[in-house]
Structure 1
Amino acid sequence: EHDLVQKKTFTKWINAQFSKVKILVPVIQTKERGSTRVHALNNVNKVLQVLHQNNVDLVNIGGTDIVDGNHKLTLGLIWSIILHWQVSTDVMSSLQQTNSEKILLSWVRQSTRAYPEVNVLNFTTSWADGLALNAILHHFRPNAFSWDGVVQMRPVERLEHAFTVAKDQLAIERLLDPEDVAVQLPDKKSILLYVTSLFAALPKDVNMESIREVETLPRRFKVEAEDSCPGLSAQVTPDNKACCFKTFTHFKTPDTLSELEGEMEGGMLEADLDTYQTTLEEVLTWLLSAEDTLQIQDEVLDDVEGVKEQFHTHEDFMMELTAHQSSVGNVLQAGNQLIAQGSLSEEVEDEIREQMSLLNSRWESLRVASMDRQARLHEVLMELQQQQLQQLSDWLTRTEDRIRKIETERPAKDIDDYKQRIEQHKELQNDLEAEQVKVNSLTHMVVVVDENSGESATAALEEQLQSLGERWAAVCRWTEERWHKLQEVFLVWQQLVSDQVEHNFYFTLFPNISAPRHIFP
């Protein structure tokens, strides 16, 4: 399904680029005329040579793949071209960054920050309801349409509205159709391509702070802590009683083929051999691609943010497996139906059984391997996150001891002593702000919670996080309250000093009047 969307989107993009293409003009001028396969191969190879010279990743594609109509490799090549010329040129060059997706997500979140209905966490599910696209457009063109009116629309209507406004206001081509986006899992590459077009046409006010914020974002299928639980911040008011850190990833494990078979029972019409063979080839092609994707994933890193990124990447891969498992089940059921019909020769039935056995073996191997990697990533991530929690706990213990010592100090003897205590408190505030950076990473902890997990799976961690959150909030609250008290008392000290100066001046003018020698004890 995603391939069909990509084919349609990429085709529209290519047609829109014809007026801009300059790099291939020399190739077009030297094109070999003729309709034979040799002519076609020579022309395609010339194009590939130019792309290689311009450092475009050719994704292991050759001229024969294009000429023979390998649509999957052709789509991969087109995506490499898009990444190289549109995404890299329009996005990465503006901030000298190598992660264009991170920049785009930062820009999107920055542009939609004022819209409470919008929370963009990725380039798939966050766009399905059409609100994100409209929020970007409304942010830069607030007079073009009513935001309240958009909120009342259905997802397909919102998407249609956004594409129309983008075309009329910004001359952005309608690369997508609403029906292709308003689905459970929109195609990521197509969304990225369209958002890049918006990025190229609108102001690009993205700073490094916004980009760094994206690194600690929760990803899709995650549940944030309760809305009533405030986030960690150095500016904690007396009303803040506790702070939360947790983010749990809810994940459905891909099914085995026997489970799929049970789910699909009675769900398909009578199968025919041609449909079965076509569907089987498509599923096996996808399986090969998925196996390659899993194999080339990097070794598990040893830093928490790096492992988080790997975990989120693998999470996307696992969700793709889950999204495709119904297709695998369809093939399985179709094969069983063909055999049950009894209209095939014994040789053909044996071939179908062998094909289904191969499918079963490859799906199960992929499923188990992907689950093993997820388990390993989660194990390493939990270990690193626990280290972070322990470091925070140790810091809180030292800071709480520091606070107890401050509370038992004798009163300041004069204003200079009081100024010194204010400076000491500023040091505590600076330490608190420095620790806030580490705490920000903990606000989006990752814990896998699957359908088999009970409450006990996260109870201990929740208790630990709750305790640390309360201690952090107490330190923040004490620091702020003491700062206000220090300021209030300092103003009194200053007034007393001012009064003393006035009294000394008065008694200098009238020396015969008796006066106390000191204002301060």
Structure 2
Amino acid sequence: MTSEFHDIRGHAFTKKFLDENRYEFQASVFLKWASAITNESLNELSDIFKGKFLSVFTQLITGKTFVASGSRSEDISTVFQLLDDGDRFAQINILDVTDGNLKALCSVVWQFIQLFWKRFGPEDVRDQKLSEVIKDWCLERTKKFEEVQITDFTSSWRDGFSLNALLASYNAKAIAMNEVREMRGDERLEHAMSVAERRYGVPRLLMPKDFVSEYLDMKCVVCYLMMIYLALAAKKTKISVYFVQFLQNVDARSRKSSSSSQRSGRKGRKCLEETVADYESCLEQVLTWLLEAEERANNMDPVEEKDVELVKIQFREHESFMQSLTDSQDSVGRVLHR
């Protein structure tokens, strides 16, 4: 006997139909996420499992360089090993992935999203379960708003109050809750998502109408809220992602130039690989210097107003710091020039 389920309008569906549509819905959200973090326009979820995205994502998560072999199944297997040496991908059938099985594709991309979190989430919470961290964060930030009751990642977000309250907890001027209360549910959602996109660069992984869809699930909402979290609560993470996007733009231009001179064969390919390797080395040095400079600046003591000798010492330390900035201009310039 076939089981039937009913949506919020009373329409009957079989479980198989619901599952298929839920995975299609999930795939559209995950595809937008993958496009956003690599600054690339991906057309289908299967594009994530091609050499270009796998190479960029592997570099993003591990810092290691992955070169496609030409065999799709071999490339996917290699990337799985590079991304996680445990059993994260042990239950994944690579044949299902290469065949484009939507359930398998979504399952792998969900693991990618969690790897992204472990790589860029704040150090004190990145090893915790993603959904739990996001839920605790949402509850803490919205607890002062009486109209907000967060109990899950689907129905609690449909009226738009939770999303607006979350953003208002960081910037009350950007989100006027008195005005939000007068809006319709879809208007509240549009308002909050517009602010998140415009002010904080959060990609629109969902649309207002998606929040009332019977196919919306926890993973889609958690993925979107994770991007908001990283934009609002983890500034260093945001900077790192933008550097990777810049690297992707450079890599795209390099490959476009390479394709136009394909006749040069192995010599041109070797030259490109050497250029990319040189760039990656230079970028790594610049990122290391940026983190060190930031830490050094944060550790500087407040200016002493009464002790002249301490002021002199602080002046010399500041002068040394400024000199280090000057000395590093060439390295930064080389990265930006490329």
Q: Structure 1's 31 and 91: CA in aligned 2 closer, same or farther, altered over 3 A?
A: closer
Deviation at 1:8, TM superposition (A): 0.7
Q: Determine the C-alpha separation between the residues in 2 that align with 1:85 and 1:93.
A: 13
Q: In the TM superposition, what is the alpha-carbon distance from 1:138 to its structure 2 partner?
A: 1.1
Asked if 1:82 corresponds to 2:102, the answer is no
- CA shift, 1:203, in A, is 3.3
Q: Alpha carbons of 1:183 and 1:69: their partners in 2 closer, same or farther (altered >3 Å)?
A: closer
Does the alignment pair 1:46 with 2:75?
no
Provide the rounded CA distance (Å) in 2 between the counterparts of 1:59 and 1:5: 25
Per-residue CA distance 1:322-365 (angstroms, 9 max, x = gap) = xxxxxxxxxxxxxxxxxxxxxxxxxxxxxxxxxxxxxxxxxxxx
Give yes or no for the alignment of 1:69 onto 2:100: yes
Of the candidates 7, 11, 23, which is equivalent to residue 31 of structure 2? 11
Out of 20, 32, 38, the position equivalent to 2:69 is 32
Gaps of 5+ in 2: 1-20, 40-55, 235-338
Return the offset for 1:92. Answer: 6.9
Alignment of 1:311-390 (within 5 A): none
Partner residue, 2:281: none
Letter in 2 for 1:64: L
Shift of 1:184: 5.5
Matches within 5 A, 1:179-328: 179-183=209-213, 186-203=216-233
Alpha-carbon distance between aligned partners in 2 of 1:56 and 1:179, rounded to the nearest angstrom: 37
Contact 2:190 2:208 in 1 (8 A): yes
Equivalent of 2:145 in 105, 115, 129: 115
Q: How many angstroms apart in 2 are the aligned matches of 1:128 and 1:175? A: 15
Which of residues 84, 97, 102 in structure 1 aligns to 2:132? Answer: 102
CA deviations 1:488-517 (Å, max 9, x no partner) are xxxxxxxxxxxxxxxxxxxxxxxxxxxxxx
Cα shift readout 1:75-97 (whole Å, capped 9, x = no counterpart): 001101111222x3455732476
- The structure that has the greater radius of gyration is 1
Change (3 A) 1:57 1:125: same
- Check whether the contact 1:117–1:131 (CA below 8 A) recurs between aligned residues: yes
Q: 1:9 to 1:56 in 2, by over 3 A?
A: farther
Contact 1:125–1:185 (CA<8 Å) still a contact in 2? no
**SS state of the match for residue 93, structure 1?**
coil
Q: Match of 1:41, as an amino acid?
A: S
The DSSP-based 3-state class of the residue aligned with 1:94 is coil
**Residue identity opposite 1:120 in structure 2:** I
CA distance in 1, matches of 2:160, 2:105: 29
Q: How many residues of Structure 1 are paired with residues of Structure 2 in the alignment?
A: 196
1:305 alignment counterpart: none
| Matched AA of 2:159 | D
Kept in 2, the 8 Å contact 1:91–1:100? The answer is no
Whether the 8 Å contact between 1:112 and 1:135 is mirrored in structure 2 is yes
How big is the shift at 1:158?
1.4
C-alpha distance in 2 between matches for 1:51 and 1:11: 19
CA distance in 2, matches of 1:94, 1:193: 19
Stretches of structure 1 that go unaligned for 5 or more consecutive residues are 34-38, 205-521
Q: How does 1:456-475 map to 2 (within 5 A)?
A: none
Write the distance in 1 (CA, Å) between the matches of 2:168 and 2:65.
Answer: 42
1:125-144 alpha-carbon deviations (Å, 9 max, x no partner): 11111111111111111111
- Structure 2 length as normaliser, TM-score? 0.53
Equivalent in the alignment of 1:2: 22
Residue of structure 2 equivalent to 1:151: 181
Residue 147 to residue 11, structure 1, CA distance change in 2 (3 Å):
same
User: How far off is 1:106 after superposition?
Assistant: 1.9
Superimposed CA distance per residue, residues 165-185 of structure 1 (whole angstroms, 9 cap, x where no aligned partner) = 101111111111111112467
C-alpha separation in 2, matches of 1:31 and 1:90: 25
User: Any conservation in 2 of the 1:45–1:63 contact (CA below 8 Å)?
Assistant: yes
Q: Please, what is the CA RMSD of the aligned residues?
A: 2.5
Which amino acid is 1:136 matched to?
A: L
- 1:140 partner SS: coil
Q: C-alpha deviations, 1:263-313, integer Å up to 9, x for none?
A: xxxxxxxxxxxxxxxxxxxxxxxxxxxxxxxxxxxxxxxxxxxxxxxxxxx
Distance 1:67 1:184, change over 3 A: closer
Deviations 1:370-398 (A, max 9, x none): xxxxxxxxxxxxxxxxxxxxxxxxxxxxx
The answer as to 2:197 corresponding to 1:177 is no
The amino acid of 2:69's aligned partner reads: E
Question: Residue 134 of structure 1 corresponds to which residue in structure 2?
Answer: 164
- Is the Cα–Cα contact under 8 Å of residues 22 and 215 in structure 2 kept in the other structure? no
Q: Which amino acid aligns with 2:75?
A: N
Report the Cα distance in structure 1 between the residues aligned to 2:168 and 2:136, rounded to whole angstroms: 17
Question: Structure 1 residues 70, 155: closer, same or farther in 2, change over 3 A?
Answer: same
Secondary structure at the aligned position of 2:30 is classed as: helix
Taking structure 1 as the reference length, the TM-score comes to 0.35
